[in-house]
Amino acid sequence: MIYLLYGENYKASREKLRSITVSLLEKDPNSSLFKLTPENFNEGLLEEYIKSQTLFAGKYIVVLDSLFENKEYEKLVLNNLKDISASPNIFIFIEETLSNSTLSRFKKWAEKIQKFSPKEGLTKSNKVRDGFNIYALTDSFAERRKKDTWVLYQKALRSGVTPDEVLNVILWQVKNLLIVKNEPNLSDLKLNPFVLRKSLGFCQKFEFEELAKISESLLDISHRVRRGEGDVEILLEEFILSA
Q: Pick from 73, 99, 122: which residue ends a domain? A: 122
Among candidate residues 92, 122, 152, the one where a domain is terminated: 122
* 128 within domain boundaries: no
The CATH number of the domain holding residue 216 is 1.20.272.10
Q: Which domain holds residue 92?
A: 2-122
26 and 76 assigned to the same domain:
yes
Which pLDDT tens digit goes with each residue over 123-180?
A: 433 334 456 788 899 999 999 999 999 999 998 888 888 888 899 889 989 988 988 8
What span, in angstroms and rounded, lies between the C-alpha atoms of 229 and 239? 15
Co-location of 7 and 108 in the same domain: yes
User: 0.85 cut: is pTM over it?
Assistant: no
% pLDDT > 90, the chain = 42
The answer to whether residues 223 and 151 belong to one domain is: yes
Say if 21 falls within a structural domain.
yes
Q: What is the amino acid identity at position 15?
A: E
With contact defined as beta carbons under 8 Å apart, do 91 and 3 qualify? yes
State the CATH number of the domain containing residue 76: 3.40.50.300
pLDDT in tens, 107-137: 999 999 999 987 544 343 333 445 678 889 9
Residue 76 reports pLDDT greater than 90: yes
Count of structural domains within the chain: 2
